[in-house]
Structure 1
Amino acid sequence: MSIAFLNGTFLPLEEARISPLDRGFLFADGVYEVIPYYNGISFGIEEHLSRLQRSLAEIRIPLSQTIEEWASLLNDLVAKNGGGDLSVYLQITRGAYETRNHAFPPEIKPTIFAMVSPIASPLAADATKAKGISAITAPDIRWSRCDIKAISLLPNILLKQQAADAGAQETILVRDNFITECTSANVFAVKNGTIYTPVNDAQNLGGITRDIIIGLALEHQMPFQEIAMTVEFLEDADEIWVSSSTREVVPVIALNGRVVGDGKPGMLWKVMAEHYQTNKKRIFTR
């Protein structure tokens, strides 16, 4: 039985309860973060919590907690769950009020909830054994403020299920013929030895792992560009990757039923996977 955190109390996850009048339940009025821990040590937590603070500010949920206070809370939660390789899910909603009203209620207290889940070993952890995944493309039906990490994920769920129905593992989203991101990941393409990723704007979420990969590419003098990426550019890529905090960097070996490259994880992906693991070890041994 795992331990969760709810509004100031650590308790068994099965005992956590919220009001049916909570605006997260009624309106999906809230934001969240997912933060990986390896051997009980956080990875990229400051960047995740900075993004959380930005999301809270954008939807006007006022909270006084600092990044250091959030980190202390989550570290305690991980310790109470025995450490190890875990992802921490942290969600803040506007809270519960006595009536259902679209406008912000006065003097409402936000609901703060956190829980942990085991992390499966990412494909990048052993590039020699990675098989890659399949993906499809589909119209991006989400709202226009995807830069906010909001809990209103119904479009993402429907798009993810569209991939599953097609026998794929991920959906890459398209808006006005330009690639934005995936249902729960960012996108990279490799062409003629250069790594490309879509430009960061309000149409996609600024990924923490995306930023790490960009930093590693620059650190190791791997050619890199942010571009307005068309569907045709992606379809013609030599390699395609998707990235997220718990999956790290994953090779896509088939897109819309067509083989990407030679149908195997590409050479530049293997190089980046090794850099990513080395970077993790470097951080944890400081």
Structure 2
Amino acid sequence: MAYAILNGKMLDRAEAKVDMEDRGYQFGDGVYEVIRVYNGKLFTLDEHLERLERSLTNISIKPPFTNQELTEMLYQLVEKNNLETGIVYMQITRGVAPRNHAFPSGGVTPCLTAYTKELARPLAQLKSGVKTILTEDIRWLRCDIKSLNLLANVLAKQKAADNNCYEAIQHRGHEVTEGSSSNVFIIKNGVVITHPSDQLILKGITKDVILKQCESLQIPVEERVFSLDELSGADEVFLSSTTSEVMPIIEIAGNSVKDGNPGPVTRKLQEAFEQEIVEQCGELKQSI
């Protein structure tokens, strides 16, 4: 039996249902987090819960549970589902109310749902690198909120899939923002460059881990806007996300990045990221 959480209760996942007038279903009125699990332990959990709280605050939803309560529930969920390697998905919506664009007045309780999914590390792609496409960024202007409104991201990801690519790198005009579900980094002359964590991108948890590793490894970093020309002329390119970790990009829109192989700085950051996993979650059964 698989288990899920609905409003603090552990249920058979098949029985965990939400009302058709839940505002998450009707308006995308809610936020979510995806948390990686290695060796049955939740990686960077505190950082994910802090971001969840920021997202809720930004759309005026009062958290229905404390971070401590969420931590206890999520670990119980992982244990009940015997999850070793995978993810926990959780979301909080404004709750159930008769359909009206404006916020419901009083008495509405936010709705929490969470479940687990087995998901192996993408070791083959981490070793060889992945291909990507380019697409115009058509999302709204508050991408820093991890909102349930993901239709533009879905369209970009499907465009990548239709072109047999792993990810779509988005840009607003000539300025690169991020992937459809990832942050993007370029490396030029040994300097790691990535878009600043402003309202045009999601402040990635994995991105923050990488930036800390750069500091420890004394790798120079520039958090600034970079252009499509800089992207095409980069020495190395990689993306990061909860499920993709530090993923080398070897091709963009049909053009190879340098010699078409993951570069040395990317490899160094992959090693450092794996070490971070080991420190938080224990030894990995397989490494890159």
Q: TM (normalized to structure 2)? A: 0.94
CA distance in 2, matches of 1:8, 1:30: 17
CA distance in 2, matches of 1:283, 1:6: 28
| Structure 1 position 15, deviation (Å) | 1.9
For residues 27-46 of structure 1, the aligned pairs below 5 Å read 27-46=27-46
Query: Secondary structure of the residue that 1:134 maps to in structure 2?
Result: strand
Query: Secondary structure of the residue that 1:242 maps to in structure 2?
Result: strand
Number of residue pairs the alignment of both structures matches:
282
Of 234, 237, 245, the residue aligned with 2:231 is 234
Matched residue, 2:101: 102
> Does residue 1:133 correspond to 2:138, yes or no?
no
Matched residue, 1:177: 174
Matched residue, 1:202: 199
CA distance in 1, matches of 2:108, 2:64: 14
Query: Secondary structure of the residue that 2:226 maps to in structure 1?
Result: coil
Structure 2: gaps of 5 or more residues: 284-288
**1:98-137 Cα distance to aligned partner (Å, 9 max, x none):** x21001112211111000011212339x96xx11111111
User: Contact between 1:123 and 1:247, CA under 8 Å: does it hold in 2?
Assistant: no
User: Contact between 2:83 and 2:116, CA under 8 Å: does it hold in 1?
Assistant: no
CA distance in 1, matches of 2:12, 2:222: 46
Matched residue, 1:221: 218
CA distance in 2, matches of 1:62, 1:280: 32
User: Contact between 1:160 and 1:171, CA under 8 Å: does it hold in 2?
Assistant: yes
Partner AA of 2:132 in structure 1: A
**1:141-199 Cα distance to aligned partner (Å, 9 max, x none):** 00010000001100000011111112211001101311111110000111111111111
User: Contact between 1:123 and 1:250, CA under 8 Å: does it hold in 2?
Assistant: no
> Does residue 1:7 correspond to 2:7, yes or no?
yes
| Structure 1 position 83, deviation (Å) | 3.1
Matched residue, 2:161: 164
Matched residue, 2:245: 248
Matched residue, 2:78: 78
| Structure 1 position 63, deviation (Å) | 2.2
CA distance in 1, matches of 2:190, 2:35: 31
CA distance in 2, matches of 1:198, 1:283: 27
CA distance in 1, matches of 2:43, 2:209: 11
> Does residue 1:63 correspond to 2:63, yes or no?
yes
Matched residue, 1:117: 117
Q: TM (normalized to structure 1)? A: 0.95
User: Contact between 2:39 and 2:282, CA under 8 Å: does it hold in 1?
Assistant: no
RMSD of equivalent CA atoms: 1.5
CA distance in 1, matches of 2:111, 2:282: 36
Identical-residue share of aligned pairs (%):
43
CA distance in 2, matches of 1:133, 1:167: 10
Q: 1:11 to 1:64 in 2, by over 3 A?
A: closer
Partner AA of 1:53 in structure 2: E
| Structure 1 position 13, deviation (Å) | 1.6
Of 269, 272, 276, the residue aligned with 1:272 is 269
